[in-house]
């Protein structure tokens, strides 16, 4: 497992030798155009959130109809999905044809992916209407690590505020709260236990906890860490204020349903659909599912707005994350993988995916007036993405995030104050950064 | 370990030494090779598939971290991983949690297992069905068992909350999460203990109890002074096995809580898993596993020494 | 323990109490499974009923849905192959070794046996990653063979431990007369000893099977899509696309444990003798 060593499985080695002997030179990365058709393509991704339904139920079958190749979707829990990709790419295995990866992984996964500028050339040659310029700049930047474009953006998410407008109006509020103080006041007024609480949030000690905390952190003006110098900011007074704010909502004001500490991605959607809360800060596209009358008790009641700013609405800043579809360097059927990605990320299919819970990174889709009318959140999301802070892409972030999960969980449980929790997080981050060789000890 | 005397003690190795030696010396080389032929494959498999990885894991525990795209770094860092672990409050916490979990779970399993074994030992019709039924939790895939319990403990839809009439968020609070994990551990593995003890009870000679009954001893006295001491080897085996297995329990905690909330159920195996497969810090994971290993070894040795010392008296 | 001496009425009362206690315990132990079985027979709407439904028309749509997924059947086949392979390998390799340990006092016998026991006691997670690396280098990384080998290393000490106890129980006279008759060790072992040890082998096989069928961690790391086993497949159900896929989760869970439950019923007698033989002699 040396750096750069491509320990290809035995089968591929044999094939390579044969081809070389036959006088051809097959670059490991670039496929010969007239490639043999495989009987299936393996797509690997996570199994949360429901936004892949367009891919699995519509694009996959359409692709199969057009090309005769079945797309096998392997969708796993977030930890397992990352572990699988790391293990397979680390050993140079060719078992994955289309990899779905998200922003936080860019650092370690980028070297395993093809240069997608080249992939783009292939796509645009085949499909001039693809329009790379239609993709949001922020999404393109997030797909780039160390100067290399490593994937095609499929989904760009950000944290926005979703709320049941009618209930807010009934409580005397004409619009969504714009500052932390207004938010707390509104929550206290809207709280109606035990059937409906004021605020929903993803409180399980797991992968969603960062996005629960990050909007409030950035709106308060806080920062995480400087990956170059190793300077830690998470436990400064802005970070503490932000964490204490949401911890108070759960512990002191008790305006959240008691089960929020078991909620992750799917549960907050289900909670909204079952009318467990009035307001929540969550993934913008989740509003599609929460607001869908065929799935949700509260269908049609929801509206979207930016997350509150600390003392003024203009301070509102949120996090930006997303998923990309990419072709690994070791893939056997590069041509077909590219074709699938071209299809999935085309204007037509990405617009369609919006209706089923996705948040495409295309300006044309987000600003489409019919969609804005129908779904409500796209314009808000577009504004939020403009000023949003992308999830860190440095490889050491996965470990830092694990520790942050503990700290936030402890604060939400009321075990520690925000200051105590974040100080412990900072201490652990120092140790981690030192182990990774970043900055000063 | 070749016990010389004491053939009354169940743990003595059975052997008619001199007869064996005669038979052995009789045969030729090929026959003598029988032992090698019989034993070597086992050790070959163990050493190659288990031993080599084990040593590699030891080597890994002295290497540093490669947070980049390579799986392993080649940096030798000596005892740094161990130092980091022993100064990491989460790891130290996991030591305590694992210890509490093991003691609490094993104690409950032993007590409940003994009760069940005593009940199942009574000769009544249809016992076979009850015996078979009670074995089932043990045969179930631990992950599936834990997921079953997760459904039962669901705050709004689960049966447990329906039964007790309260809306407790079992897996969402540290205290109740610990209780939940403990209950699932007991549910799954008490049958294991019950089976061992039942086999033991059935193999006990009946004369001592009958003699005691004739002498007028009550049920309780008979139990304390005759049954339990005779059952000791089985109790000890059950105890040792359960301690080993509960110490490294992983599946049910992974499925129920993933170590949370707020690290309340972060047992050592969960910590090791997170270090290896989420952080991809294989050196740290290896160091953590070796610490677990050393603790297991010391505990086993302690057990064996205690048993032998008791036997020798 | 013999039945307590007393009048017939007392005995009836005691029998009644014993039954009551056992049935209560059985109910508590089996209830979670029955509840999940119930969930697997409900539609999505019925699952969410509040208060929970106890009487309803069962539906088999969840099972049909799960069984129609080809990857589930593939996982089932994989699990069969892997478990069968592990059991076969462990028995073939472990039983002769156990025999040698039981019958012949060779040099270092106790030490080797002790080493074997110790290997059984080590936490598997210690070797998980290195095993993955080892198999990668051998080109076996995502194959079923790697899982079979991994399970064999867990099962072997178990097999040797149990079978040694069984062999020590067998009277030596039969073999010794065979040796004297000139049968030779190998033939005596194969033709005379093995058939006698069958009950022990059944017990060992059952415990190995349980170990292999139910493992999650090693299968999760050492397999990929094509070779994954049932426990791994199960975990991918645990959070679905549009909320938790309760139907798929519970139905697949029931299907995964069904073979093992059948085994439990068929084998409970052997299990008891297997677990304890190691106890007394070890």
Is 80 exceeded by the pLDDT of residue A439?
A: no
Mutating which of C72, C128, C221, C239 best tests the A interface, going by the most A Cβ atoms within 10 A? C239
- If you measure CA to CA, which chain A residue comes closest to B279? A399
Mutating which of C32, C37, C53, C247 best tests the B interface, going by the most B Cβ atoms within 10 A? C32
pLDDT at residue A28 in the model: 31
pLDDT tens digits along B117-147: 888 888 777 777 887 787 788 778 888 888 8
pLDDT at residue C278 in the model: 54
Residues C217 and C83 in one domain: yes
Q: Which residues of chain B from 273 to 292 reach within 8 Å of chain A, CB to CB?
A: 274, 277-281, 284
Establish if A251 touches chain B: CB-CB under 8 angstroms.
Answer: no
Higher pLDDT, A340 or A40: A340
Contact by Cβ (8 Å): B292, C127: no
Establish if A435 touches chain B: CB-CB under 8 angstroms.
Answer: yes
User: What is the mean predicted confidence (pLDDT) over A3-10?
Assistant: 37
Mean pLDDT of chain C: 79
pLDDT at residue A104 in the model: 85
Contact by Cβ (8 Å): A399, B279: yes
Q: Which residues of A touch C (CB under 8 A)?
A: 1, 7, 9-10, 42, 47-48, 50, 52-53, 56, 72, 74-77, 80, 83-84, 87-88, 91, 93, 95, 264-266, 269-270, 273, 289, 295
Distance CA B16, CA C103 (A): 9
User: What is the mean predicted confidence (pLDDT) over A87-116?
Assistant: 88
pLDDT at residue A17 in the model: 42
Please judge whether B71 and A1 are an interchain contact, meaning their C-beta atoms are less than 8 angstroms apart: yes
Establish if B108 touches chain C: CB-CB under 8 angstroms.
Answer: no
Mutating which of B29, B63, B133 best tests the C interface, going by the most C Cβ atoms within 10 A? B133
Percent of chain C with pLDDT strictly greater than 70: 86
Please judge whether C239 and A7 are an interchain contact, meaning their C-beta atoms are less than 8 angstroms apart: no
Which chain A residues touch C236 with a CB distance below 8 Å? 47, 74-77, 80
Residues C157 and C247 in one domain: yes
pLDDT at residue B93 in the model: 93
Q: How confident is the model at residue C220 (pLDDT cuts 50, 70, 90)?
A: confident
pLDDT tens digits along B163-212: 888 778 888 888 899 999 999 999 989 988 888 888 888 777 777 777 87
pLDDT at residue A26 in the model: 34
Candidate ranges A351-355, B98-102, B303-307, C173-177; pick with highest mean pLDDT: B98-102
Residues C172 and C86 in one domain: yes
Residues C139 and C31 in one domain: no
Please judge whether C225 and A48 are an interchain contact, meaning their C-beta atoms are less than 8 angstroms apart: no
Is 90 exceeded by the pLDDT of residue B82?
A: yes
Higher pLDDT, A48 or B228: B228
Q: What angle do CA C188, C190, C191 make, to 5 degrees?
A: 70
Which chains neighbour C (Cβ–Cβ under 8 Å, 3 or more pairs)? Answer: A, B
C49 belongs to a structural domain: no
Cis peptide bond upstream of B261, omega within 30: yes
Please judge whether A399 and B281 are an interchain contact, meaning their C-beta atoms are less than 8 angstroms apart: yes
- If you measure CA to CA, which chain B residue comes closest to C121? B244
Is 80 exceeded by the pLDDT of residue A237?
A: yes
Burial class (CB in 10 A: 0-12, 13-18, 19+), B258: buried
Mean pLDDT of chain A: 86
Q: What is the CATH number of the domain that holds C274?
A: 1.10.3720.10
Determine how β-strand A197-200 pairs with β-strand A277-283.
parallel
d(CA B239, nearest CA chain C) in Å = 11
Contact by Cβ (8 Å): A183, A278: no
C92 belongs to a structural domain: yes
Q: How confident is the model at residue A1 (pLDDT cuts 50, 70, 90)?
A: very low
Q: How confident is the model at residue C208 (pLDDT cuts 50, 70, 90)?
A: confident
pLDDT tens digits along A347-386: 999 999 988 888 899 988 888 898 888 888 998 998 888 8
pLDDT at residue C270 in the model: 65
- If you measure CA to CA, which chain C residue comes closest to A264? C239
Q: Of the candidates A175, C243, A414, which has an alpha carbon nearest to the alpha carbon of residue B262?
A: A414
Candidate ranges A18-27, A251-260, B59-68; pick with highest mean pLDDT: A251-260
Establish if C139 touches chain A: CB-CB under 8 angstroms.
Answer: yes
Q: How confident is the model at residue B220 (pLDDT cuts 50, 70, 90)?
A: confident
pLDDT at residue A12 in the model: 44
User: What is the mean predicted confidence (pLDDT) over A30-55?
Assistant: 74
Please judge whether C139 and A74 are an interchain contact, meaning their C-beta atoms are less than 8 angstroms apart: no
Q: What angle do CA C40, C43, C49 make, to 5 degrees?
A: 100
pLDDT tens digits along A184-226: 999 999 999 888 999 999 998 888 899 999 999 999 999 999 9
pLDDT at residue B23 in the model: 55
pLDDT tens digits along B245-266: 899 888 889 888 888 788 889 9
Please give the tally of structural domains in chain C.
2
Higher pLDDT, A75 or A32: A75
A160 three-state secondary structure: strand
Contact by Cβ (8 Å): B131, C268: yes
Which domains can be identified in chain A, with CATH numbers?
10-156+321-390 (3.40.190.10), 158-319+391-436 (3.40.190.10)
Contact by Cβ (8 Å): A37, A336: yes
Residues C224 and C85 in one domain: yes
Mutating which of C242, C246, C248, C249 best tests the A interface, going by the most A Cβ atoms within 10 A? C242
- If you measure CA to CA, which chain C residue comes closest to B230? C280
Percent of chain B with pLDDT strictly greater than 70: 87
Contact by Cβ (8 Å): C165, C277: yes
A208 three-state secondary structure: coil
Residues C106 and C245 in one domain: yes
Dump the DSSP string for A371-405: HHHHHS-HHHHHHHHHHPEEPP-STTHHHHHHHHH
C47 belongs to a structural domain: no
**Three-state SS letters, B189-248:** HHHHHHHHHHHHHHHCCCHHHHHHHHCCCCHHHHHHHHHHHHHHHHHHHHHHHHHHHHHC
User: What is the mean predicted confidence (pLDDT) over C251-275?
Assistant: 75
Strands (E), A11-170: 40-46, 70-76, 98-102, 144-145, 148-149, 152-164
Q: Report how far apart the first and last C-alpha atoms of chain A are (Å, whole number).
A: 28
Mutating which of A203, A270, A397, A413 best tests the B interface, going by the most B Cβ atoms within 10 A? A413
Residues C126 and C195 in one domain: yes
Is 70 exceeded by the pLDDT of residue A396?
A: yes
Contact by Cβ (8 Å): B253, B270: yes
Residues C222 and C107 in one domain: yes
Q: Which residues of chain C from 101 to 130 reach within 8 Å of chain B, CB to CB?
A: 101, 103-106, 109-114, 116-119, 121-130
Q: What angle do CA A9, C87, B189 make, to 5 degrees?
A: 110
C273 belongs to a structural domain: yes
- If you measure CA to CA, which chain C residue comes closest to A273? C243
Which chain C residues touch A74 with a CB distance below 8 Å? 225, 236
Is 90 exceeded by the pLDDT of residue A59?
A: yes
Establish if B155 touches chain A: CB-CB under 8 angstroms.
Answer: yes
Distance CA A167, CA B110 (A): 55
C250 belongs to a structural domain: yes
pLDDT at residue B31 in the model: 65
Residues C33 and C109 in one domain: no
Query: Which among A3, A83, A409 has the least Cβ separation from residue B262?
Result: A409
pLDDT at residue A336 in the model: 93
Establish if A256 touches chain B: CB-CB under 8 angstroms.
Answer: no
Is 80 exceeded by the pLDDT of residue B17?
A: no
Residues C24 and C149 in one domain: no
Rounded to two decimals, the pTM is: 0.81
- If you measure CA to CA, which chain B residue comes closest to A84? B277
Residues C84 and C207 in one domain: yes
C205 belongs to a structural domain: yes
Query: Which among C133, C220, C239 has the least Cβ separation from residue A1?
Result: C133
Query: Which among B24, B45, B54 has the least Cβ separation from residue C152?
Result: B45
Q: Which residues of chain C from 225 to 264 reach within 8 Å of chain B, CB to CB?
A: 230-231, 234-235, 238, 246, 249-250, 253, 256-257, 260-261, 263-264
Which domains can be identified in chain B, with CATH numbers?
17-60 (no CATH), 81-312 (1.10.3720.10)
Task: Name, in order, each residue with C-beta under 8 angstroms of B218's C-beta and a sequence gap of 6 or more.
Answer: none
- Residue A408, token pair as written in the block: 């936030």
pLDDT at residue A342 in the model: 94
d(CA A300, nearest CA chain C) in Å = 18
Establish if B149 touches chain C: CB-CB under 8 angstroms.
Answer: yes
Q: Tell which phi-psi region holds residue A147, choosing left (phi > 0), alpha (psi between -120 and 50) or beta.
A: left
Is 50 exceeded by the pLDDT of residue A81?
A: yes
Establish if C56 touches chain B: CB-CB under 8 angstroms.
Answer: no
pLDDT at residue A10 in the model: 38
Establish if B140 touches chain A: CB-CB under 8 angstroms.
Answer: no
Q: Which residues of chain B from 171 to 210 reach within 8 Å of chain C, CB to CB?
A: 187, 190-192, 195-196, 198-203, 206, 209-210
Percent of chain A with pLDDT strictly greater than 70: 91
Range of the domain at C33: 8-40
- Residue C277, token pair as written in the block: 């033989």
Q: Give the up-direction half-sphere exposure of residue A131: CA atoms within 13 A in the CB hemisphere.
A: 13
Candidate ranges A227-236, A261-270, C26-35; pick with highest mean pLDDT: A227-236
Burial class (CB in 10 A: 0-12, 13-18, 19+), B19: exposed
pLDDT at residue C215 in the model: 86
Residues C221 and C264 in one domain: yes
List Cα–Cα distances, C240 to A158, B278, C243, in angstroms.
Answer: 22, 21, 6
Which chain B residues touch A409 with a CB distance below 8 Å? 260-263
Q: Of the candidates B136, B199, B142, which has an alpha carbon nearest to the alpha carbon of residue C25?
A: B136
Please judge whether A269 and C243 are an interchain contact, meaning their C-beta atoms are less than 8 angstroms apart: yes
C55 belongs to a structural domain: no
pLDDT tens digits along C144-184: 899 999 999 888 988 888 888 778 877 778 777 877 777 77
pLDDT tens digits along A152-193: 999 999 999 999 999 999 988 888 999 999 999 999 999 998
Please judge whether B67 and A261 are an interchain contact, meaning their C-beta atoms are less than 8 angstroms apart: no
Distance CA B202, CA B193 (A): 14
Respond yes or no on whether ipTM tops 0.95: no
C16 belongs to a structural domain: yes
User: What is the mean predicted confidence (pLDDT) over C252-270?
Assistant: 78
Please judge whether B277 and A83 are an interchain contact, meaning their C-beta atoms are less than 8 angstroms apart: yes
Please judge whether B121 and C15 are an interchain contact, meaning their C-beta atoms are less than 8 angstroms apart: no
Please judge whether C268 and B132 are an interchain contact, meaning their C-beta atoms are less than 8 angstroms apart: yes
Q: Which residues of chain C from 211 to 230 reach within 8 Å of chain B, CB to CB?
A: 213-214, 216-217, 221, 230
Distance CA B249, CA A55 (A): 38
| Residues composing chain B | 313
User: What is the mean predicted confidence (pLDDT) over A43-65?
Assistant: 87
Q: What angle do CA A396, A402, A404 make, to 5 degrees?
A: 100
Q: Which of C36-40, C198-202, C245-249, C268-272 has the lowest mean pLDDT?
A: C268-272
């Amino acid at each position: 497992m040396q750096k750069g060593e491509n320990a290809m499985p035995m089968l591929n080695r044999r094939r390579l030798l044969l081809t070389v002997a036959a006088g051809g030179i097959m670059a490991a990365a670039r496929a010969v155009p007239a490639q043999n058709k495989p009987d299936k393509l393996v797509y690997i991704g996570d199994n949360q959130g429901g936004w892949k339904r367009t891919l699995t139920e519509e694009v996959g079958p359409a692709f199969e109809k057009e090309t005769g190749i079945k797309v096998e979707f392997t969708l796993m829990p977030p930890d397992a999905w990352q572990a699988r990709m790391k293990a397979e790419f680390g050993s140079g295995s060719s078992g994955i044809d289309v990899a779905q990866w998200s922003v936080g992984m860019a650092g370690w996964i980028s070297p395993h992916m093809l240069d997608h500028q080249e992939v783009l050339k292939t796509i645009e040659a085949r499909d001039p209407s693809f329009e790379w310029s239609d993709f949001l700049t922020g999404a393109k930047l997030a797909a780039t690590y160390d100067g290399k474009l490593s994937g095609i953006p499929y989904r760009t998410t950000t944290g926005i505020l979703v709320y049941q407008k009618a209930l807010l109006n009934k409580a005397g509020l004409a619009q969504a709260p714009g500052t932390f103080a207004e938010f707390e006041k509104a929550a206290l007024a809207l709280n109606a236990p035990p059937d409906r609480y004021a605020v929903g949030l993803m409180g399980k000690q797991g992968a969603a906890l960062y996005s629960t905390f990050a909007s409030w952190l950035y709106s308060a003006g806080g920062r995480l860490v400087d990956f170059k110098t190793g300077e830690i900011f998470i436990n400064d007074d802005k970070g503490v204020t932000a964490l204490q704010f949401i911890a108070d909502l759960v512990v002191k004001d008790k305006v959240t349903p008691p089960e929020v500490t078991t909620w992750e991605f799917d549960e907050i959607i289900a909670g909204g659909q079952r009318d467990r809360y009035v307001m929540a800060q969550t993934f913008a596209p989740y509003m599609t599912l929460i607001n869908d009358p065929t799935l949700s008790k509260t269908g049609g009641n929801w509206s979207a707005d930016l997350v509150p700013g600390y003392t003024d609405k203009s301070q509102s800043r949120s996090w930006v994350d997303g998923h990309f579809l990419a072709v690994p360097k070791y893939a056997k059927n590069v041509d077909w993988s590219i074709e699938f990605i071209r299809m999935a990320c085309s204007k037509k299919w990405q617009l369609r995916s919006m209706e089923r819970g996705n948040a495409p990174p295309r300006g044309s889709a987000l600003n489409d007036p019919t969609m804005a009318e129908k779904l409500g959140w796209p314009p808000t999301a577009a504004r939020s993405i403009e000023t949003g802070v992308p999830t860190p892409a440095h490889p050491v972030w996965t470990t830092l995030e694990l520790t942050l999960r503990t700290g936030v969980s402890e604060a939400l449980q009321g075990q520690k104050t925000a200051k105590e929790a974040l100080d412990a997080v900072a201490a652990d981050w120092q140790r981690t950064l030192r182990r990774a060789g970043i900055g000063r000890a | 370990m070749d016990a010389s005397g004491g053939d009354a003690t169940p743990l003595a190795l059975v052997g008619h030494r001199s007869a064996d030696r005669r038979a052995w010396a009789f045969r030729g080389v090929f026959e003598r090779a029988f032992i090698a032929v019989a034993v070597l494959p086992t050790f070959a498999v163990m050493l190659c598939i288990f031993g080599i990885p084990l040593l590699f894991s030891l080597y890994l525990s002295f290497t540093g971290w490669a947070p980049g795209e390579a799986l392993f770094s080649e940096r030798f860092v000596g005892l740094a991983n161990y130092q980091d672990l022993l100064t990491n409050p989460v790891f130290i916490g996991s030591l305590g949690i694992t210890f509490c979990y093991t003691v609490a779970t094993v104690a409950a399993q032993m007590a409940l297992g003994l009760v069940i074994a005593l009940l199942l030992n009574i000769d009544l019709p249809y016992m076979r069905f009850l015996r078979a039924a009670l074995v089932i939790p043990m045969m179930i895939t631990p992950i599936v068992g834990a997921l079953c319990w997760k459904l039962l403990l669901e705050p709004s839809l689960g049966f447990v909350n329906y039964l007790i009439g309260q809306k407790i968020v079992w897996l969402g609070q540290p205290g109740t999460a610990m209780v939940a994990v403990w209950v699932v551990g007991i549910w799954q593995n008490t049958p294991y203990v019950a089976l061992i003890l039942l086999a033991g009870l059935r193999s006990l000679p009946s004369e001592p109890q009958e003699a005691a009954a004739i002498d007028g001893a009550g049920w309780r006295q008979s139990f304390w002074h005759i049954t339990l001491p005779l059952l000791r080897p089985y109790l000890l085996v059950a105890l040792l096995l359960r301690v080993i297995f509960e110490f490294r329990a992983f599946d049910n905690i992974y499925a129920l809580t993933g170590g949370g909330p707020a690290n309340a159920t972060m047992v050592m195996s969960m910590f090791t898993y997170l270090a290896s497969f989420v952080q991809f810090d294989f050196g740290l994971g290896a160091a953590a596993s070796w610490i677990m290993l050393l603790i297991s070894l010391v505990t086993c040795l302690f057990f064996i020494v205690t048993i032998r010392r008791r036997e020798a008296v | 323990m013999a039945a307590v001496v007393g009048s017939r009425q007392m005995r009836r009362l005691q029998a009644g109490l014993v039954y009551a206690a056992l049935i209560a315990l059985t109910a508590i132990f089996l209830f979670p499974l029955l509840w999940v079985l119930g969930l697997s027979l409900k539609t999505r709407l019925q699952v969410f009923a509040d208060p929970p439904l106890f009487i309803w028309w069962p539906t088999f749509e969840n099972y049909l849905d799960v069984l129609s997924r080809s990857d589930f059947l593939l996982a089932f086949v994989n699990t069969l192959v892997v478990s069968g392979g592990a059991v076969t390998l462990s028995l073939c390799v472990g039983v002769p070794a156990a025999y040698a340990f039981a019958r012949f006092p060779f040099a270092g016998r106790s030490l080797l046996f002790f080493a074997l026991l110790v290997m059984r006691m080590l936490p598997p997670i210690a070797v998980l990653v290195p095993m993955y690396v080892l198999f990668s280098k051998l080109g076996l990384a995502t194959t079923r063979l790697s899982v079979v080998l991994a399970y064999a290393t867990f099962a072997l000490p178990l097999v040797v431990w149990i079978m040694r106890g069984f062999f020590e129980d067998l009277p030596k006279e039969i073999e010794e007369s065979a040796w004297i008759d000139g049968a030779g060790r190998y033939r005596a072992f194969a033709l005379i000893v093995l058939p006698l040890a069958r009950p022990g082998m059944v017990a060992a096989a059952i415990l190995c099977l349980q170990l292999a069928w139910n493992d999650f961690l090693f299968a999760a790391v050492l397999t990929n899509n094509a070779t994954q086993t049932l426990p791994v497949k199960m975990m991918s159900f645990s959070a679905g696309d549009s909320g938790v896929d309760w139907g798929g989760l519970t139905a697949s869970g029931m299907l995964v444990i069904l073979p093992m439950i059948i085994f439990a019923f068929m084998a409970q007698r052997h299990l008891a003798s297997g677990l304890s033989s190691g106890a007394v002699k070890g």
